[in-house]
Amino acid sequence: MGCGADGQFTTTFQSKVASSVELTGAKRRVPLLLISLVAFLVALKPATGEAAKRGHRRYSHRRRVVHVLNAPPYRALLLEDADTGQILYAYNEHLTWPPASMAKMMLLLVAEDQIRAGRFSLSDPVRISITAASTGGSRLGLRAGEVHPLGELMKAALIRSANDAAVAVAEKIAGSTEACVRMMNQRAQALHMYHTFFGTVDGLPPVPGHDVDFTDAYDMGILAREIIHQTDLLKWSSMENALFDGGAAILHNTNRLIGHFEGCDGIKTGFTHQAGFNLTATAKRGDMRLIAVVLGAPTSAERFRQVANLLEWGFRNFVVVEPLKQGQVLPVSVRVGANLLVQPIAAKAARVLVRRDEVPTLRLEYQLPTQLAAPLPAGTPLGTVMVRDGMRVVDQVSALYPDFAANSIYGATLEPKFGVALNPAAGAYGQTPSPTTGSW
């Protein structure tokens, strides 16, 4: 059997026979066809003994490459703001896909939960079980009976993606991997990761080629945000290399963007034959932190290239602006009684992430009462300030009644403004960045 240029298999056996023997008449063709069939079946007979073993090893390394025109080099892609979850770019973000070793992100989040609850500490000793020591796939080489601190095993699971360390962590915090899987799924539901199910603690398929963990890019973004804001795991995932337990081993980070892409400090890679090459990464530049997820890249290099390009595109084309600071006096006034005007203050900072070329179009809109019968306690909500990008509300902040002594005007004749939209280019934001355009 041979493979044609168009990707279809063609039979070359008959053409070889026809070139060596000229056949005429139906009677002579039939015996030759029988001989050809026998030879073909003999060629298909499975090899035995050492030959079979050698053949199996060769086949296990083969790859069928199918070229599809215009197909992207990944199955799903996502870019979002790490603070708000605002999606900046998405492709197949709800496609169900195996996370592979990115399942360890949830394992380590659950471990951090247990540590914050005071049930364990990073220094707690963990005795390596036979189960942990015999775990396959990517591993550290732990031996049954060894004792290592819980924190060191968590670090190895995150940086080195060590499956044996991950199983040891799970057994320590939950008593068994089965119990830990239940904890992981409960945590996923609490985070509204509705397209995620964990069947293992490490993402390693129980049977090669049959992953039992499933998620999507959108849910991995949720998990990444929780890790960024609720744990200290980035202190480990940001290390390009690290020592394990005082030098017992050296941990080389599987995330090749660490140390090579500006601002990247996490989080986790993943690979199985079914999943392909996955990556959930985060990077911070200035006051902007982004999260990028790629699922199903064909090679390890491709996943890093796609995520690096996506993050760079995000940093180049988007900007964080803060039209209001917490406690800022608003440029509007509310009449209290007959002779008093007060200016409300912003309850919190307003923060929006927009494309650079959209900054000049942002507006502030005030929804406040025109008059109050009597003064109110300081901090009482009076209304809302909305930040609009065209017709879309991108953020909103409560306007509070100010401290009476510090912010009031007696006997003023100032006409209060209500429902006024301020152009940020007119000074509401201070320095406006020079907008630039770009396309994905």
| 3-class SS string, 123-180 | CCEEECCHHHHCCCCCCCCCCCCCEEEHHHHHHHHHHCCCHHHHHHHHHHHHCCHHHH
* Amino acid 286: pLDDT: 95
Active site residue 408: no
Which 3 state secondary structure label does DSSP give 323?
Answer: strand
* 123 contact partners, CB below 8 Å, separation of at least 6: 149, 150, 151
Token pair belonging to 271: 């690979």
Which of the following is catalytic: 101, 129, 138, 238?
101
Token pair belonging to 132: 């942990």
What one-character DSSP code corresponds to residue 422?
Answer: E
Going by DSSP bridges, is the β-strand pair 350-355/2-3 parallel, antiparallel, or unpaired? unpaired
What count of Cα atoms within 13 Å lies in the side-chain half-sphere of residue 182? Answer: 7
* Amino acid 430: pLDDT: 26
Which domains, from first to last, does the chain contain?
2-60 (no CATH), 76-319 (3.40.710.10), 325-426 (2.60.410)
How far is residue 206's CA from residue 196's CA, in Å, rounded to a whole number?
Answer: 18
Answer for the pair 248, 165: CB distance below 8 angstroms, yes or no.
no
Closest CA to 265 of 376, 402, 158: 158
Closest CA to 161 of 99, 248, 212: 99
Residues in the chain: 440
* Amino acid 390: pLDDT: 86
- Kindly state the helix (H) or strand (E) to which residue 18 belongs, with its residue range: helix 13-20
* 61 contact partners, CB below 8 Å, separation of at least 6: none
Distance between alpha carbon 169 and the CA centroid of its chain, in Å? 22
How far is residue 2's CA from residue 4's CA, in Å, rounded to a whole number?
Answer: 7
Q: Using omega within 30 degrees of 0 as the cis cutoff, is the peptide bond preceding 267 cis? A: yes
Token pair belonging to 140: 């550290």
What one-character DSSP code corresponds to residue 200?
Answer: -
Query: Hey, what amino acid is at 13?
Result: F
Q: Classify burial at 279, counting beta carbons within 10 Å of its beta carbon; exposed 0-12, middle 13-18, buried 19 or more.
A: buried
What one-character DSSP code corresponds to residue 57?
Answer: H
pLDDT < 50 stretches in the chain: 1-69, 405-406, 408-440
Active site residue 104: yes
Distance between alpha carbon 373 and the CA centroid of its chain, in Å? 52
What count of Cα atoms within 13 Å lies in the side-chain half-sphere of residue 54? Answer: 5
Token pair belonging to 180: 């830990």
Going by DSSP bridges, is the β-strand pair 76-81/288-297 parallel, antiparallel, or unpaired? antiparallel
How far is residue 13's CA from residue 18's CA, in Å, rounded to a whole number?
Answer: 9
Q: What is the largest CA-CA distance in the chain?
A: 120
* 110 contact partners, CB below 8 Å, separation of at least 6: 173, 174, 180, 183, 184, 187
Which 3 state secondary structure label does DSSP give 107?
Answer: helix
Which of the following is catalytic: 104, 155, 172, 268?
104
* Amino acid 38: pLDDT: 39
Closest CA to 199 of 182, 221, 217: 182
Which of the following is catalytic: 138, 161, 238, 333?
161
* Amino acid 70: pLDDT: 63
Determine how many CB atoms are found less than 10 A away from the CB of residue 35. Answer: 11
Active site residue 161: yes
For helices 103-116 and 177-190, give the axis angle rounded to 10 degrees. Answer: 90
Closest CA to 199 of 130, 94, 99: 99
Q: Which spans in 160-262 are helix H? A: 163-174, 177-190, 217-230, 234-237
Q: Which residue carries 């057994």 as its tokens?
A: 171
* Amino acid 123: pLDDT: 98
